[in-house]
Amino acid sequence: MSSNDVAVIGVGMHPWGKWGRNFVEYGVHAARAALKDAGVPWRDVQFISGAATMRCGYPGYVAGATFAQALGWQGAEVNTSYAACASGSQALAAARAKILSGACEVALVIGSDTTPKGFLAPAKGYRPDDPDWVRFYIGITNPTYFALYARRRMDLYGATEEDFAAVKVKNAEQGFTNPNARYRKKFTMEEVLGSAMVADPLRLFQICATSDGAAAIVLCSAAYAKKLGKSTAPRIAAISTVTPKYASGEVEMPDIATDSAAIAEAHSFRAALAKKAYEEAGVSPKDVSLAEVYDLSSALELDWMEYIGLCQPGEAEHMLRAGDTKIGGRVPVNPSGGLACFGEAVPAQALAQVCELTWQLRGEAGDRQVQNAKVGITANQGLFGHGSSVILTK
């Protein structure tokens, strides 16, 4: 570990589920678990960084302070980040920057959410200026977008409904023993393909649910890690939170139209997220031992494999069919079970991905362990041009 590194010395989660309790309770549970894992007393934390939630009232908008107060005001500096599904990564990036600048040595990052049932819906009223309102008004929900990506793979690359179901079967198998996963049930191809069609070609068991859950991470400077006897802790090699580049050529939630590529060239946002992370970390896709990607739908995992460079466009189905992406394969994808087993707890999800990388790089992932894991990458994306990719190295 070099003196400029930032180490992950503690991780903790509150199990995902539909518990229906206050998000602060889950956040405190995860934070205490992460502090205990790190061996750092709460009083020693100098910076607390919260990922905001928009569904839990004012305390959710000021999540950093809400968690600081719940853990007991002790005078730490505070930050709250909101970036839709990438909120956790931005909260992590704020803490890492604080440490890298020398302004603090040890920081705690927390994301937690309590989610409503059913489709996520926009704010009320007649609001045609809000693209999120417009798309729901004309009947375009989140699964619409996932299904558009999936159908395009079928027409362009020959992907099949069985391929998409196989991703679900794989992830369910991998998350089966994960104590923090919400859905711990093995699925057969028949069960997945027999579930109700939601947005052709995607069925109910291939679309991620919304969940309650929390994840927390303690990170610190190399010097602080050494002092604690944790010099071998995984380090954060990169956090990419780049915006799209104009013209953004991908159909993205919540927009009903892409940028025009008639004058400006079209760019791929999701590929750019990982590209920046690889450049910052100084590693390439060939170095990756495992990946945690945002499988909002089972089919989307195949897109992500290409966006993070594990294979060329159109080759993800071949990797899947060859068993390359299951635990024991060449590059396991979503060994945690992914969103298929968790459901999405928006501000906690990007942090949960980093928790999994940490356990994997430490060799503490139990039944899910990826052998000889040295480099892990996450990929995540949310509404309004947000996304993230984090690389952890041993």
> Which residues sit opposite 218 in a β-bridge?
10, 108
Whole-number minimum distance, CB 390 to other proteins, in Å?
Answer: 26
E strand or H helix that includes residue 199: strand 197-199
Residue 237 sits at φ, ψ, to 5 deg, of -85, -25
Helix axes 346-362, 87-100, angle to 10 degrees: 60
| Residue in 48, 76, 104, 198 binding other proteins, rule: CB under 8 A | 198
Task: Give me Rg for the CA atoms of the chain.
Answer: 20
| Residue in 4, 39, 148, 371 binding other proteins, rule: CB under 8 A | 148
| Residue in 48, 51, 147, 293 binding other proteins, rule: CB under 8 A | 147
CA distances from 108 to 4, 28, 100, 231, 318 (A): 18, 11, 15, 18, 40
Whether 336 contacts 368, CB under 8 Å: yes
What span, in angstroms and rounded, lies between the C-alpha atoms of 255 and 373? 38
What span, in angstroms and rounded, lies between the C-alpha atoms of 27 and 14? 7
| Residue in 2, 196, 229, 286 binding other proteins, rule: CB under 8 A | 196
Whether 191 contacts 210, CB under 8 Å: no
Q: How many CA atoms lie within 13 A of 229 on its CB side?
A: 1
Whole-number minimum distance, CB 248 to other proteins, in Å?
Answer: 10
- Residue 108 vs 272, nearer CB to other proteins: 272
Cβ-count burial of 374 within 10 angstroms (0-12 exposed, 13-18 middle, 19+ buried)?
middle
Cβ-count burial of 188 within 10 angstroms (0-12 exposed, 13-18 middle, 19+ buried)?
exposed
- Residue 101 vs 155, nearer CB to other proteins: 155
What span, in angstroms and rounded, lies between the C-alpha atoms of 150 and 160? 9
- Residue 70 vs 134, nearer CB to other proteins: 134
**Interaction with other proteins in 226-245: which residues (CB under 8 A)?**
245
| Residue in 156, 185, 284, 330 binding other proteins, rule: CB under 8 A | 156
CA dihedral 358, 364, 366, 368 (to 10 degrees): 30
- Residue 58 vs 126, nearer CB to other proteins: 126
| 155 contacts other proteins (rule: CB under 8 A) | yes
| Residue in 54, 65, 134, 209 binding other proteins, rule: CB under 8 A | 134
| Residue in 84, 199, 320, 383 binding other proteins, rule: CB under 8 A | 199
Whole-number minimum distance, CB 195 to other proteins, in Å?
Answer: 11
Query: Strand pairing of 212-221 and 6-17?
Result: antiparallel
| 22 contacts other proteins (rule: CB under 8 A) | no
Binding mask 253-292 for other proteins (x = CB under 8 A): ---xxxxxxxxx-x--------------------------
| Residue in 32, 151, 226, 362 binding other proteins, rule: CB under 8 A | 151
Whether 356 contacts 365, CB under 8 Å: yes
- Residue 57 vs 128, nearer CB to other proteins: 128
What span, in angstroms and rounded, lies between the C-alpha atoms of 353 and 350? 5
Total residues binding other proteins (CB under 8 A): 48
**Interaction with other proteins in 318-357: which residues (CB under 8 A)?**
none
| Residue in 162, 190, 200, 279 binding other proteins, rule: CB under 8 A | 200
| 194 contacts other proteins (rule: CB under 8 A) | no
- Residue 175 vs 201, nearer CB to other proteins: 201
CA distances from 110 to 24, 60, 352 (A): 10, 12, 10
Whole-number minimum distance, CB 116 to other proteins, in Å?
Answer: 10
Whole-number minimum distance, CB 139 to other proteins, in Å?
Answer: 5
Whole-number minimum distance, CB 385 to other proteins, in Å?
Answer: 11
Residue in the block written with tokens 């990797």: 319
Q: Which residues bind other proteins (CB under 8 A)?
A: 118-119, 121-122, 124, 126, 128, 131, 133-141, 144, 147-152, 155-156, 196-202, 245-247, 249, 251, 256-264, 266
